[in-house]
Amino acid sequence: DARLAGPLVSAGGLPPRPRRLPRRPAAERV
């Protein structure tokens, strides 16, 4: 059930992608 808990938790409330990761450029944010 761990595999089910993974997607469920992310979809539940916790962000699936942490903002700490520099995935999006700061320019796009501004």
CA gap 14, 28 in Å, rounded: 23
CB 16 within 8 A of CB 10: yes
Tens-digit pLDDT profile for residues 1-30: 555 555 555 455 555 565 666 666 666 655
- Per-residue pLDDT, 19: 62
Distance in angstroms (rounded) separating the CA atoms of residues 1 and 26: 37
- The whole-number pLDDT of residue 5 equals 56
pLDDT at residue 15 in the model: 59
- What's the confidence (pLDDT) of residue 22? 64
Give the pLDDT confidence score for residue 21 in this predicted structure. Answer: 62
Contact in structure between 10 and 4 (CB atoms under 8 Å) = no
